[in-house]
Amino acid sequence: MTNSTEQKQGFVGGTANYLDERLGLGAVVKGFGRKIFPDHWSFMLGEVALYSFVILVLSGTFLTFFYQPSMAEVHYDGSYAPLKGAQMSIAYASSLDISFDIRGGLIMRQVHHWAALLFVAAAGLHMLRVFFTGAFRKPRELNWVVGFLLFVMGMAAGFTGYSLPDDLLSGNGLRIIDGMIKGIPVIGPAISSGFFGGEFPGTEVVARLYSLHIMIVPALIIVLIGVHLMMVVIHKHTHYSGPGRRDDNVVGYPLMPVYVAKAGGFFFLVFGVVAAIAATFTINPIWNYGPYDPSPVSAGTQPDWYIGWLDGALRLAPSGWDVVIAGFVIPMGVMVPLVVSLVFLALVAAYPFIENWVTKDKREHHVLDRPRNAPTRTAIGAAGVTFYGVLWAGASTDLIATNFQMSLNQVLIAMQILLILGPVIAYWVTKRACLSLQRKDREMVLHGRETGRVVRLPHGEYIEVHEPVDKYELWKLVDFKEYEPVLPRPDASGRITVGNRLRSAISRLYFEDRIAPVSKAEYELAHADHAPAIEDKPKSKRKPKALTK
């Protein structure tokens, strides 16, 4: 008998054989090669985040070869004439050298900065997609938490990197962080001293931020991404509601070859777009700001977008709420924004557990909700987005005021009011819009699509002809789960606990107003009764009659 491994196999076959005999890769390819992934544009948001991170690691590695994280003072002697001879830190001077004296340095700096902005944006949009489609439900609650941590780490990576050039703008950012830290009761001043190695700005902080930025934070991000993707493999990807999509299957295309080509190609597309933007649009022109100096500041400055909501929170903070207890000061201009943003983040992290505490639905969910089919969740999400959005816009009160010729004070007060009222309005409007859309879906299922053709019946009545929805489209409109509110019930000892009452109240908030999916009986009734008179035969070959099989 011929031993097949000794036959001539060509280069690819030979390599494959070599690797399999040493690593057992055959089983991996067999196991993963035809893994099915569902297709939807919104599933690419997470991919964008992942690829931006890869771009960040590549471009960041290039930057580390030239950047020097030292706050020692030097006199600038590079190509940028306006700053020649100026006293500055080595960190700022080496950032200028990367921009002006190293070929490819500026483009890599800009790729790095744009990719960072994209990373947090894509991660945020990905979170919103997961939230609004209910993809965080069992069994994916833990992965939601991992994703949340990734988002927070993304902000941390961004902030620590933003401060490294040690320019005037980022130095003022650090100054603000210092002011916030100092305001924390009891431990604030000590933490500030530990962070800056003494008084602000000190000579340590850039090197410390550098350790965090290139080692600790990226290492955490890599570990979290590993866990995040591992859980995606374990759970298999969710899919949107559609014909043949169930909670016990996954419908899509195989990893090899389709997703290798699509996702692999998509990496190059993301990188290509980032490179094109970086080549043509300036980001963070540190040479315009000058070296850090605690005295000057320019008006109209803004942090990178993902820190904007925190800066906005600082601006919208109430004035004169400071509390003095036994001679100790609690500065509310700092503590209110700090606590409010932490509570907001905690609520985001905890949402899957809160919703499950209300529904007590212990089943696995792999078919995504259309946002309209979970009106209260969607409304809560809209309220959250509005809250974040107002804080974010709050970081631009001065620019809004100057651009639109308004009073700065009035813009700010308007933002404060919006911060409270905006989420309430967004909640109400969104919930009503979702319920209306659900009603429209029901209408569509029961009476079909309006064709615009008006006919006159023999007895003189005019009607519009409705065309029934084909069975595949119909399925999308009826495939969702409906929940009912629960009444407070006494427990084993006959008491109604506070938790029970609360859950009942929240369940009413969630599910009191609800639209049920059309049942088969309703469908048949609607179509049996007057259907022959007003319904046209569907144009497509797929008839809803097949519904009954």
Partner 1 sequence: MSELEKRYSPGLAAQTKRPIEDPGIEPHRVRMTDKSEKHARTAEKQIAAMFGVSVIGAIIAIWGFFAFPIVDGDLSATRNNSLWMGLGMALSMLGIGFGAVHWAKTLMPDNEVSELRHQARSSEETRAQALEVVKLADGESGFTRRKLIRRTMYGALAFFPIPGIIIFGDLGPVVGDTLRHTMWKSGTRLAKDPTGIPIKASDVTIGSVFHVIPEGLEDLEEHKLEEKAKAAVLLVRVNPEDLNEDPAKADWSYQGIVAYSKICTHVGCPVALYEQHTHHLLCPCHQSTFDLANHCEVVFGPASRPLPQLPITVDAEGYLVAQSDFLEPVGPSFWDMRK
**Site residues (CB under 8 A) for partner 1, limited to 414-433:** none
For residue 349, the minimal CB distance to partner 1 (Å) is 21
Q: Is 44 in the site for partner 1 (CB under 8 A)?
A: no
For residue 453, the minimal CB distance to partner 1 (Å) is 26
For residue 78, the minimal CB distance to partner 1 (Å) is 8
Q: Measured from the CB atom, is 128 or 231 closer to partner 1?
A: 231
Neighbour-count burial for 496-508, b at 16+ CB within 10 Å, e otherwise: eeeebeebbebbe
159-188 residues in contact with partner 1 (CB under 8 A) are 172, 175-176, 178-180, 182-186, 188
DSSP 543: -
Under 8 Å between Cβ of 465 and 451: yes
Q: Is 475 in the site for partner 1 (CB under 8 A)?
A: yes
For residue 19, the minimal CB distance to partner 1 (Å) is 23
Q: Is 363 in the site for partner 1 (CB under 8 A)?
A: yes
Q: How far is CA 234 from CA 35, 237, 366, in A?
A: 11, 9, 12
Q: Measured from the CB atom, is 449 or 508 closer to partner 1?
A: 508
Q: Is 194 in the site for partner 1 (CB under 8 A)?
A: yes
Q: Measured from the CB atom, is 347 or 408 closer to partner 1?
A: 408
H-run or E-run covering 329: strand 328-330
Distance CA 8, CA 421 (A): 74
Among 41, 328, 404, 462, binds partner 1 (CB under 8 A): 328
Among 228, 366, 377, 466, binds partner 1 (CB under 8 A): 366
For residue 251, the minimal CB distance to partner 1 (Å) is 5
Among 474, 515, 527, 535, binds partner 1 (CB under 8 A): 474
| H helices present in 139-187, as ranges | 141-162, 168-183
| Cis amide prior to 544 (ω within 30 degrees) | no
Q: Is 276 in the site for partner 1 (CB under 8 A)?
A: yes
Q: Is 454 in the site for partner 1 (CB under 8 A)?
A: no
Q: Measured from the CB atom, is 44 or 224 closer to partner 1?
A: 44
Among 301, 341, 451, 500, binds partner 1 (CB under 8 A): 301
| Cis amide prior to 201 (ω within 30 degrees) | yes
End-to-end C-alpha distance for the chain, whole angstroms:
55
Name the one range near partner 1 by CB under 8 A: 18-26, 147-155, 319-327, 368-376. Answer: 319-327
Neighbour-count burial for 308-334, b at 16+ CB within 10 Å, e otherwise: bbbbbbbbbbeeeeeeeeeeeebbbbb
Under 8 Å between Cβ of 451 and 463: no
For residue 465, the minimal CB distance to partner 1 (Å) is 23
Q: Measured from the CB atom, is 238 or 426 closer to partner 1?
A: 238
DSSP 283: -
Among 14, 31, 198, 226, binds partner 1 (CB under 8 A): 198
Q: Is 455 in the site for partner 1 (CB under 8 A)?
A: no
Q: Which two tokens stand for residue 245?
A: 């999509």
Under 8 Å between Cβ of 330 and 213: no
For residue 121, the minimal CB distance to partner 1 (Å) is 19
Distance CA 207, CA 94 (A): 13
Among 317, 393, 446, 526, binds partner 1 (CB under 8 A): 317
Q: Is 305 in the site for partner 1 (CB under 8 A)?
A: no
Distance CA 61, CA 63 (A): 5
Give CB contacts under 8 A, 24+ apart, made by 206-211: 206/69, 206/70, 206/71, 206/89, 206/91, 206/163, 206/164, 206/166, 207/69, 207/70, 207/71, 209/69, 209/160, 209/163, 209/164, 210/67, 210/69, 210/160, 210/164
Q: Is 489 in the site for partner 1 (CB under 8 A)?
A: no
Among 125, 258, 349, 437, binds partner 1 (CB under 8 A): 258
Q: Measured from the CB atom, is 313 or 385 closer to partner 1?
A: 313
Q: Is 359 in the site for partner 1 (CB under 8 A)?
A: yes
H-run or E-run covering 499: helix 498-511
Name the one range near partner 1 by CB under 8 A: 122-130, 212-220, 247-255, 448-456. Answer: 247-255
Q: Is 468 in the site for partner 1 (CB under 8 A)?
A: no
Q: Is 244 in the site for partner 1 (CB under 8 A)?
A: yes
Q: Is 117 in the site for partner 1 (CB under 8 A)?
A: no
Q: Measured from the CB atom, is 2 or 280 closer to partner 1?
A: 280
Q: How far is CA 438 from CA 269, 277, 366, 513, in A?
A: 37, 41, 21, 11
Size of residue set near partner 1 by CB under 8 A: 145
Q: Measured from the CB atom, is 246 or 501 closer to partner 1?
A: 246
Q: Measured from the CB atom, is 235 or 449 closer to partner 1?
A: 235
Which value, to the nearest 10 degrees, does the dihedral of the CA atoms of residues 93, 97, 98, 100 take? Answer: 130
User: Cβ neighbours of residue 488 under 8 Å, at least 6 residues apart?
Assistant: 496, 500, 501, 503, 504
Among 16, 19, 29, 36, binds partner 1 (CB under 8 A): 36
68-97 residues in contact with partner 1 (CB under 8 A) are 79-81
Among 43, 53, 200, 427, binds partner 1 (CB under 8 A): 200
Under 8 Å between Cβ of 232 and 49: no
Q: Phi and psi of 212, rounded to 5°? A: -65, -45
Q: Is 400 in the site for partner 1 (CB under 8 A)?
A: no
Q: Is 409 in the site for partner 1 (CB under 8 A)?
A: yes
Among 22, 30, 103, 537, binds partner 1 (CB under 8 A): 103
Among 56, 115, 286, 316, binds partner 1 (CB under 8 A): 316
Which value, to the nearest 10 degrees, does the dihedral of the CA atoms of residues 448, 449, 455, 456 take? Answer: 40
Q: Measured from the CB atom, is 26 or 242 closer to partner 1?
A: 242
Q: For residue 388, list its beta bridge partners.
A: none
